[in-house]
Structure 1
């Protein structure tokens, strides 16, 4: 009996799920020169767009440099928006929901500057 109720609950849950409609979509536009762009938006508020190119030279050859943004609604209802770049320096994202670095306290900044300008002398190691 328990399994029958569990099976009915699973079927009811599966029937409630419906595909999310795509409201707008720009299919990937890829050019022979190496640049591209694409985007889409769904009815539940998900949005993504990106453009990039393979023209940036890195240490190991061509690097795809891209920039774009995406957004979605978090389970708590907050709209999450992210702008990003990705290139030879890695993936760098910005968004109001992301943690921000705290400013370095003045005393620590002075100590770091002192250390930088007064390196310890390197002593020659003696061998016995």
Structure 2
């Protein structure tokens, strides 16, 4: 009985500590903005959040963020943003299902047999 009570109380303390992040403090902070429009910043907090980014304002950016999800999963996200849009990368992000074989075969056939356009008379 005592072991069960001890385990339950330790679990509750862990949950309460994880849920209360209002006391988190900034442990590192850096912010640089240059005259040519380039910039970089980074920060870290006592509850394990680390983030950084650098780039040229309005042109491109690259950065990352690391933290622990409420379920205890470590999250690491890297990203770039440029003329190709926002491109996040991380093991926690969903991935599309594989393309079925019949679609791949159809695409290969279409590529091997291009359509010849028909010119209509005016």
| TM-score above 0.5, yes or no | yes
What is the number of residues matched between the two proteins? Answer: 102
Output the TM-score relative to the length of structure 2.
0.70
Query: 1:41 matched to which residue of 2?
Result: 44
Query: 1:98 matched to which residue of 2?
Result: 93
Measure the CA separation in 2 of the matches of 1:47 and 1:86: 19
What SS does the aligned partner of 2:110 have? helix
The RMSD of aligned alpha carbons is 2.4
Structure 2 unaligned blocks of 5 or more = 1-19
Output the TM-score relative to the length of structure 1.
0.67
Structure 2 residue corresponding to 1:67, chosen from 57, 62, 65: 62
Query: 2:6 matched to which residue of 1?
Result: none
Measure the CA separation in 1 of the matches of 2:96 and 2:85: 18
Structure 2 residue corresponding to 1:109, chosen from 94, 104, 109: 104
Q: Does 1:21 align with 2:18?
A: no
Structure 1 unaligned blocks of 5 or more = 1-15, 55-62
Whether the aligned pair in 1 keeps the contact of 2:21 and 2:47 (CA below 8 Å) is: no
State the shift of 1:108 in Å: 2.5
